[in-house]
Chains A and B, each alone.
Chain A
Amino acid sequence: MKKVLLIIKREYMTRVRKRSFLVMTLLGPMLAALLYGLFIWIAVSEETPSVRIGLCDQSELFIGDEIISQNTHLNISYPQAPKIVDDAKDSLRAGKYDAILFIPRDPINSFSKSFVLFYVDRLPVSTIKYTEELTSRILEDYKLKMNNMSRPEFEMVRTRITLEQTKVFTDPKKEDQRTNDAAFVIAFINGFLVYILILVYGTQVLRGVMEEKQSRIVEVIISSVKPIQLMAGKILGIAAVGLTQFTIWIVFSGICFMVISQIVMGFSDPAQIREQLETMGQFTANEGIADKANLELMAGILGTNLWVVLPVVFFFFVGGYLLYSSLFAAVGALVDTDSDTQQFMLPVTLPLIFSIALAQVALKNPDGNLALFLSIFPLTSPIVFPVKAAFEFEVSHLLISMGVLLLSIVLVAWMAGKIYRTGILMYGKRITWSEVFRWLFYRNG
């Protein structure tokens, strides 16, 4: 055991002291924060180009309307264009307008599809959305006037329902208030995080084993310790590196994001930011609805019981790492030259890539049978269960998944150990898969 600790210490220290570790650990969050800052900066400082949308108004309802003729919001103006469609199109071609908004002769009884926007260069989505909202609003006002109704009365009558989705548990005491949207975001983050972490640190195990084999130090080491101890020490040492880096990232990212936000916000006019943020989400006509949805999403994310989700994600990350890094260690022991790497790596990376691809299934239908299978099958569960964990799950299901994963780790580590200790001593020989299979039955003490 003391020797395993020595190996863990060496694996940990040599990696943590590397310049690349320092750079990655500090630069990672800084880069992410910078990108985030840049994103805000662009959003805030971008000059909205002025857009001229010519009105080809067959109904003549819009031309005189104050809301549309005096609009300056988003730098959009709506000048009058020729009433004949072909003429209007010609003037669009001539570059007099950026787009032509065609309004049918009888807008009130027309299908909404009969409103057409002609363009040469595609307009920004926000401009199209805004124009849609504005057009609807003017028509609404017109209809209200026809029915002798005021806007406040109309707002009172208008009703929009969004369905709140709540799962009912077999255990009546249990309840979950999260909205599906929040769960969706968390699920995606969970799955992706575990996938990236397993891949990054699993590959480090692979490289470490290859380095020992190729530099021929391994035979000296295993004359002092058992191969399985060396393998375990390496896997655990690199896990410690991963946890260190992860912790620093979390803490340091928090600080960086706060600082960057302060800087970006500090240099800009707060009123401008507010206006900019408003135009990103909602529009005059149904003010507040998009905003409310965003707030609910944020509240949902924040309201997620992190004390349940985080330990689950953590368990499956560690479990998945142990499972996959054992396989990576075995693969590293098989590789003699770098050119062999791909051949042996594929069977290990394939289920990993498969997991993240199939995690979509769990995202779309977290309670389906396929999701259930994927969240128990040990090669996919490290990624799929954390995805499912963002939604509601039964404790018994969690326990089964954990149990299967733990058993599989023991089994896979045992098999990987057999391959590893034979493989690391095979120099200058091309190894075939059938040979590898035979090694499982060698007695190596």
Chain B
Amino acid sequence: MTPLFKAEQIVKRFGKHIALDNVSIEVPTQRIFGLLGPNGAGKTTLIRIMNRIIAPDSGTCYFNGKVMTDADTDRIGYMPEERGLYKKMSVSEHVLYLAQLKGMTQSDARKSWAEWVEKFNMQAWKNKKVEDLSKGMQQKVQFVCTVIHKPLFLILDEPFSGFDPVNADLVKNEILELKKNGTTIVLSTHSMASVEELCDDIAMIHKGQCVLNGSVQQIRKQFKTGEYEIVFAGNMVTFTTALWAGGKIISQTNLGTDLWKVRLVLNPQANINGLLHELIQKVEIKSLHEYLPGMHEIFVSHVKEGEKSPVSEGYTE
């Protein structure tokens, strides 16, 4: 399947500063795509290029298989990190205005708005002025404004920042729902927990370059270290003897009387089935799973590595 969005060799400079240096990414259709990177890495610049808010100095963007044009912006929903609303407008007017700016007819916009009013239970305050709403309500309105025109491509920059847990869950569920219905979603976030929870694919931008790209599962496998985590009931000494030359213990935790959690790495000649066969005769295995590094670890290690790499030198922000 053609990816919904593709960016090829994007370069963007602001004066002497290179914000994006030859970045290429692909966002597969109907997936949730996480855009990661430390502050100032160039994420917002890339997102603004996706939205055609700014144009790259060189490089090409493709949307739905064709070179992207201004008309495609009507199929995009965008919730920026820095977001706000016109304070003096009524909620309904505001939503309908933004929907029409996305090319909806007034009657279509009204219909779609009515559905969202129902869904988010907004009857009581749909005619109030924005400035009279609580922050949580304003956030709901912002989200509705982003999705009211049923976008094909949804770009959310830090969607959960500033949301209370209830609203964050609400938005999370809507994102999954939209994905089920065919929307492709880009999620820029610092929350690695939501990346692991929601994202199918990720790209990591660091100092203007794409340093990591692929599916979340694949990347975590790519960074696996051959470690396993075993929980067993029995004697620790018995366990160590049974392990013998099969592997090396990295850490051990006593979880209670004769209940242990051990992280170990296999020796090159050993395999996990053989090892399990040995162990199972000596201790009672409660659980065993291959240890995959979390996105958090991968993120931190990449950023730290990037600090040392010479590629990233030559500019400051």
- Among A7, A211, A219, A221, chain B packs the most CB atoms within 10 A around the CB of A219
Within 8 A of A (CB), among B84-136: 84-89, 97-98, 100-103
CB neighbours (8 Å) of B146 from chain A are 220
Interface residues of B, count at CB 8 A? 32
Q: Which of B73-81, B174-182, B194-202, B262-270 contacts A (4 or more CB under 8 A)?
A: B73-81
Closest-by-CB residue of B relative to A214 is B84
Interface residues of A, count at CB 8 A? 26
B97 and A219: CB pair below 8 A? no
Contact of B82 among A3, A7, A216, A223 (CB under 8 A): A216
Closest-by-CB residue of A relative to B85 is A217
CB neighbours (8 Å) of B53 from chain A are 219, 222-223, 425
A14 and B89: CB pair below 8 A? yes
CB distance from A349 to the nearest CB of B (A): 26
Total of A-B residue pairs, C-beta within 8 Å: 67
A122 in the interface (beta carbon within 8 A): no
A368 in the interface (beta carbon within 8 A): no
Chain B 41-84 interface 0/1 with A at a Cβ cutoff of 8 Å (1 = within): 00000001001111101000000000000100110101110111
A7 to B55, CA, bound (A): 23
A222 to B55, CA, bound (A): 13
Closest-by-CB residue of B relative to A215 is B84
A425 to B87, CA, bound (A): 19
The secondary structure that dominates the A interface is loop
A215 to B83, CA, bound (A): 7
B87 and A6: CB pair below 8 A? no
The secondary structure that dominates the B interface is loop
A444 and B55: CB pair below 8 A? yes
Chain B 8-51 interface 0/1 with A at a Cβ cutoff of 8 Å (1 = within): 00000011000000000000000000000000000000001001
B145 in the interface (beta carbon within 8 A): yes
A130 to B101, CA, bound (A): 71
CB neighbours (8 Å) of B86 from chain A are 14, 211-212, 215, 217
CB distance from A335 to the nearest CB of B (A): 16
B98 and A220: CB pair below 8 A? yes
A445 and B78: CB pair below 8 A? no
B83 and A224: CB pair below 8 A? no
CB neighbours (8 Å) of A219 from chain B are 53, 78, 80, 82-83
Contact of B14 among A14, A216, A217, A442 (CB under 8 A): A442
Contact of A224 among B54, B57, B87, B101 (CB under 8 A): B101
CB neighbours (8 Å) of A444 from chain B are 54-55
CB neighbours (8 Å) of B52 from chain A are 223, 445
Chain B 246-275 interface 0/1 with A at a Cβ cutoff of 8 Å (1 = within): 000000000000000000000000000000
Closest-by-CB residue of B relative to A212 is B86
A220 and B97: CB pair below 8 A? no
A52 in the interface (beta carbon within 8 A): no
B15 and A215: CB pair below 8 A? no
Closest-by-CB residue of B relative to A226 is B70
A216 and B97: CB pair below 8 A? no
CB neighbours (8 Å) of B101 from chain A are 3, 6-7, 221, 224-225
CB neighbours (8 Å) of B85 from chain A are 215, 217
CB neighbours (8 Å) of B103 from chain A are 3
A442 to B53, CA, bound (A): 14
- Among A7, A18, A217, chain B packs the most CB atoms within 10 A around the CB of A217
B80 and A224: CB pair below 8 A? no
Closest-by-CB residue of A relative to B51 is A223
A425 and B78: CB pair below 8 A? no
CB distance from A246 to the nearest CB of B (A): 23
* Closest 5 pairs (CB-CB, A-B): A445-B55, A216-B84, A215-B84, A224-B101, A219-B80
